[in-house]
Amino acid sequence: MQVQEAGGTEVRKGVHVSALEQHELPGSKGTANFILKFDKGSKSTASISIVDSKDLKGVLRGLTAEDADAGKFVPVAALECRGLEPIGYTPESDWMVEAANSQTKWDDVDLSEGEWTEYDEKAGEGVGVYKIRSDFKVHRP
């Protein structure tokens, strides 16, 4: 993803945030999934923590074929960001895709090329993910 310093202009591209990684926050007992200092002389650390989907029941859900056909944005992840703002997203690997007609599932789908196609043997038809777009919205419970 791409992030921008909160209240600043510095941008970092190629930021990778993983729920499997935990980093200690300097001067705190807390942890985050990603930490960064924008300015080498800065004392403050920016961080991103992936919010557990159990804490956001009714807010997060998977994207359906109907959503995609309607061009609808659906919240699929939640991030707690401190000292930075996400401004762009480029998907990578580790996505799960489920065919709408047969419920056939593909794991570890790589969307880094911006699209993905496969043949669904159960349904006897092609399936795919195309025209991936992202948007970031502030959610306050």
Domain count, the chain: 2
**Average pLDDT estimate for 72-77:** 87
pLDDT, tens digit, 9 for 90 and up, residues 115-128: 999 999 999 999 99
Query: How far apart, in whole angstroms, are the C-alpha atoms of residue 111 and residue 90?
Result: 8
Q: How far is CA 11 from CA 22, 75, 135, in A?
A: 23, 24, 17
User: 57 and 6: one domain?
Assistant: yes
Tell me, yes or no, whether 37 and 85 share the same domain.
yes
For residues 85 and 24, state if they share a domain.
yes
**Partners of 127 in beta bridges:** 118
What is the pLDDT of the chain when averaged over all its residues?
89
Q: Which residues contact residue 102 at a Cβ distance below 8 angstroms, ignoring those fewer than 6 apart?
A: 120, 122, 123
Give the type of residue at 19.
A
Is the predicted pLDDT of residue 140 greater than 80, yes or no?
no
pLDDT score, position 80: 93
The pLDDT value recorded for residue 141 is 65
Question: Could you tell me if residue 140 is inside a domain?
Answer: no
18: tokens are: 């993983």
Are 122 and 54 in a shared domain? no
Q: Which domain holds residue 21?
A: 1-89
Surface-to-core class of residue 66, CB atoms within 10 Å of its CB (0-12 exposed, 13-18 middle, 19+ buried) = exposed
Determine, yes or no, domain membership for 42. yes
Residue 141 lies in a domain: no
